[in-house]
Chain A
Amino acid sequence: MAAFKPRTSSFSRNFSASSSLSHTPGLKRGPNGTTFISSGIPDLDKILGGGFSLGSLVMVMEDAEAPHHMLLLRNFMSQGLVHNQPLLYASPSKDPRGFLGTLPSAGSSRDEKSSKRESDQEKGLRIAWQYKKYFDENQQSIESQRDEMLLMLLDSKQEFCNDFDLRKPLDRQFLIGKQIDCVSTQDSPNLVALRDRCATFLSQFSRNESSVFLAGRITIQSLCAPQCAYSDMEWDVLSFLRSLKGMVRSSNAVALVTFPSSLLSLSTSKRWQHMADTLLSVKAIPDEDKDLAKLLTGYQDMVGLLNVHKVARINTQVPVILEATTFSIKLQKRRFLVLECLNQAPIDGSSGSSYGTSGSCSGSSKTGRLDF
């Protein structure tokens, strides 16, 4: 095995470390030469090991009863606009541009929860600093590494992903003068127009070897909704998805597509799911499900459930094994979207802690360190 060491062992791509990346807001370097873009939900970024990988197709299976997918959609779009990233938004509504008015705004003043989080972190830091006094200088190299990591962490805290206040609309300044393409999918009889729009949009982010400065976001709401003329053209839509996936893969962009899986036939739905690089689904929670309420803590605060079915893997074959795949969607103070691990029925009714352990991304972070 050791004989193979220098060159032949390479499922992971060699990549040149581009330092410029860390200074670009909204982009973060991941393992194996991938780049992350934020989903707009801090907890979801953590679950996915950093965010959505550039070049991936993210698909969200909608719930037939509740519009929870719109929560993901809105945060994803807002985050892009806050980071000055061009956006293409396609929706089956008559006036897609009107939807932009409902986008949430970044929570400027930290609310209680996040400030608590911060103070927690600070406490951790303080302890670490105090330990350092005793540790002395003999491990300076490690220290500097850690500082770097901490800096990166702090950076990412401040810049990579914002908390969005769902009750405050996005400031106009983020909408004016930005590159926002809006497409109504209702009018066109087929998907050619949409595909062409995506192609022109993506052409500005085509990937070359130099570092990434700009990333784009494509959001397609309810692809194949019944009000679209092509909703029964199963193979055309699949073929559209195929080419969208191909186009996104070779560009610095992420496409988020939500679709009503309950309207599709089972085999078609499976085909769509196989198309996705990252696959999520949302589910509503019935209002008064006594059994469930007994089973789960914090049931009253839950709005819905989020399932992570598949996490995009690029430049590596090692799968991500998440500790949990189902998360509850909660609205903190009716404003901020948080995802939490499901906690099964302990005695008291206190809500679980927000998902923030490092364990979740251990799969991916570990692989980054393995270089033998």
Chain B
Amino acid sequence: MEHGGGASPSNLLDDAVGPLAGRFVAVEDSGCNLAAQRDNKRFFFFDMLTWEYPGEKIRDKEKTSGGGLVALYGEIQKVISDLPQERKNSVTIIIDDVSLMEVAAKGSTNLVLDFLHYCHTLTSELGCSLVALNHEDIYSSSERPTLILQMEYLAGILIKAEPLATGLAKDVHGQLTVLNRGNDGQGSRYKICNFHFRVKENNVEYFYPGSRT
């Protein structure tokens, strides 16, 4: 059901459970107050639902609809460049729902891919990380889902969040498959792990299948 494709060198189990979290995206497992962090200028939030895309109004659809994404990238770049030097390389960009960006770009996959490429460049330039979430089921019916395939290709770590085959349960909310390509220069180490998870009020519990009774 869910698909988290992202390149995050650290913090393996960042929140891949976007729709459950809604607009609050977990930053740390232990739970942290995002509102407080926002006031501390450590957390910056762009609401994609109310984001006003310049030239995006439905009536002037002739205009280039990529303007919104360019502007968004500009904002991100501005935020990062305004950060003090020592914090610049520890930035994590979290995109909750790439499919919403496609909506913003009126279905232009290329614009969204461009945007992701730009953000990806930031990660290699500044050493920050990029976590992007998408929904795999949207693309399951199309023959060559470029967007999701490219995202998967670019990702260093791929996290798939799915419901259990047996459905939802009170104690296990779903399973994660984490594919770590390990492209950290040490050859082709390639790891796949499987976790079960349970979302709690302040954190998410991860455990190996069968380790809970």
Interface of A toward B, CB cutoff 8 Å: 1, 4, 7-12, 190-192, 195, 234-236, 238-240, 242-243, 245-247, 249-250, 265-267, 270-271, 274, 310, 313-319, 321, 363, 367, 370
Contacts and interface: CB of A to CB of B under 8 A. Distances in A.
Interface string B50-70: 100000111101000000000
A242 B100 contact: yes
A250 B50 contact: yes
Interface of B: 17, 19-22, 24, 26, 30-33, 35-36, 47-50, 56-59, 61, 97, 99-100, 103-104, 106-107, 135, 137-142, 168-170, 173, 199-202, 204
A274 to B, nearest CB: 6
Contacts of B35: 10
Contacts of A317: 17, 20-22, 24, 26, 199, 201, 204
Contacts of A195: 58
Given A235-B107, A243-B49, A274 B138 contact: yes
Contact of A239 (B22, B103, B142, B173): B103
Contacts of A192: 57-59
Given A4-B31, A192-B58, A321 B169 contact: yes
Interface centre among A9, A239, A245, A271 (most CB of B within 10 A): A239
Contacts of B141: 265-267
A45 to B, nearest CB: 21
Given A11-B31, A11-B202, 5 more contacts: A190-B58, A236-B106, A239-B58, A317-B20, A317-B204
B30 A267 contact: no
Nearest to B103: A238
B20 A242 contact: no
B103 A321 contact: no
29 contacts: A4-B31, A7-B33, A7-B36, A10-B31, A10-B35, A11-B202, A12-B201, A190-B58, A192-B59, A236-B61, A236-B106, A238-B103, A240-B58, A246-B50, A250-B50, A267-B140, A267-B141, A267-B142, A271-B99, A271-B103, A274-B138, A310-B19, A313-B22, A317-B21, A317-B26, A319-B173, A321-B169, A321-B170, A370-B201
A139 B140 CA distance: 58
Nearest to B33: A10
Interface centre among A238, A265, A310 (most CB of B within 10 A): A238
A239 B200 contact: no
B106 A274 contact: no
Closest A-B pairs by Cβ, 7 of them: A246-B49, A266-B141, A246-B50, A235-B106, A10-B33, A235-B107, A270-B138
A4 B33 CA distance: 11
Contacts of A242: 48-49, 100, 103-104
Nearest to A274: B135
Contacts of B97: 274
Contacts of A191: 58
B59 A239 contact: no
A187 B89 CA distance: 54
Nearest to B172: A321
A245 B104 CA distance: 14
B107 A8 contact: no
A318 B141 CA distance: 30
